[in-house]
């Protein structure tokens, strides 16, 4: 079965600081992994995805994530946080023959 665990429901950083949002997964099939962002009162928007190939994936708004099979992780990072990055972030994994399975989300707060 597939599952996703996002460590930390709330992460706070200062503007300009490193952003690290953690995601661990379990999958019985080769995983496809996704990060989505949700701004207040909006739907989810894809940040980046990993399917096959290069394990370091770059996405929009300066975010990137690295697929580490040995650690079953797909952590999301950004070198320097901006106030506009404040949002909720969801990690998701492809289900076997099913839809995506989403984590519970991590709320990112950015202070000036």
List 51, 55, 61, 84, residue binding other proteins (CB under 8 A): 51
Distance CA 30, CA 37 (A): 23
List 49, 66, 86, 107, residue binding other proteins (CB under 8 A): 49
Nearest to 62 by CA among 18, 13, 30: 18
Nearer to other proteins, 4 or 13 (CB): 4
Nearer to other proteins, 81 or 105 (CB): 105
Distance CA 59, CA 48 (A): 5
Distance CA 81, CA 92 (A): 22
Count Cβ atoms within 10 A of the Cβ of residue 79 and give its class: 0-12 exposed, 13-18 middle, 19 or more buried.
exposed
For the bound state, the minimum distance from the C-beta of residue 7 to other proteins, rounded and expressed in Å, comes to 15
Joined tokens for residue 26: 């379990």
Site mask for other proteins (CB under 8 A), range 70-109, x = bound: --------------------x---xx-xxxxxx-xx----
Residues at the site binding other proteins, with contacts judged by CB under 8 A: 32, 34, 36, 42-46, 49, 51, 90, 94-95, 97-102, 104-105
């Amino acid at each position: 079965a597939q599952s996703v665990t996002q460590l930390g429901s709330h992460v706070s950083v200062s503007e300009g600081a490193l952003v690290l949002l953690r995601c661990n997964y379990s999958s019985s099939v080769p995983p496809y992994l996704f990060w989505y962002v949700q701004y207040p009162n909006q739907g989810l928007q894809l940040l980046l995805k990993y399917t096959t190939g290069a394990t370091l994936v770059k996405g929009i708004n300066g975010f990137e994530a690295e697929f580490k099979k040995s650690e079953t992780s797909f952590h999301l990072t950004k070198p320097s946080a901006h106030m506009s990055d404040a949002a909720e972030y969801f990690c998701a994994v492809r289900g076997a023959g099913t839809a995506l399975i989403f984590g519970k989300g991590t709320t990112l707060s950015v202070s000036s």
